């Protein structure tokens, strides 16, 4: 079997959410949500409690099924993939409840990078510490 179709190889488009509808069981929470994120772009998702922010992230990461629409990551359709397969491709969600309280800050970050090649982890860790310098100072602290 061949892999997912690549729509725009070399494109700057990292994530495309097109007309997504999703929810919990029979309760639909999202209707026709679309967004496009390009490589290197920073995105902030804001909204009131209950607006659907977490639902959207869960739908993108495969933790909730789509009722409509499609999702492409790096030009490849991912809406047919299971959540674990999406994580390996870089689409996952980790909430504040997703930390391991008995581990250090650095150990928690390394767990989040488990799908990366070993050689890339130190580069990613440096990038994270540049973005969040306070984490570097507390990297050996136990989270809980």
Query: Do 4 and 78 touch, CB atoms closer than 8 A?
Result: yes
Q: Residue for token digits 């804001």?
A: 46
The domain 13-93 is placed in CATH, from the list 3.40.50.720, 3.40.50.300, 1.10.10.10, 3.30.450.40, at 3.40.50.300
Q: Please, are residues 23 and 30 in contact by the beta-carbon 8 Å criterion?
A: yes
- 68-125 pLDDT, tens digit per residue, is 999 999 999 999 999 989 888 888 776 666 778 899 999 988 887 877 788 888 998 9
- pLDDT tens for 126-137 read 999 998 999 999
Please state, in angstroms and rounded to a whole number, the distance separating the CA atoms of residues 11 and 138.
37
DSSP 6: B
- Where do the structural domains in the chain lie, given as residue ranges? 13-93, 97-137
- Tokens found for residue 103: 């581990």
DSSP string, 91-119: -----GGGS-TTSBHHHHHHHHTTTS-HH
């Amino acid at each position: 079997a061949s892999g997912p179709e690549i729509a725009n190889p070399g494109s700057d488009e990292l994530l495309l959410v097109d007309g997504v509808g999703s929810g919990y069981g029979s309760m639909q929470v999202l209707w026709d949500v679309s967004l496009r994120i390009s490589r290197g772009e920073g995105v902030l998702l804001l909204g009131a409690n209950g607006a659907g922010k977490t639902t959207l992230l869960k739908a993108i990461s495969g933790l909730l099924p789509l009722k409509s629409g499609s999702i492409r990551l790096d030009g490849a359709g991912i809406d047919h993939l299971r959540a674990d397969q999406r994580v390996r491709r870089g689409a996952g969600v980790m909430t504040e409840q997703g930390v391991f309280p008995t581990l250090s800050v650095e150990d928690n970050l390394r767990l989040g990078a488990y799908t990366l090649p070993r050689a890339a982890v130190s580069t990613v860790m440096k990038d994270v510490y540049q973005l969040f310098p306070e984490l570097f100072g507390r990297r050996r602290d136990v989270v809980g």
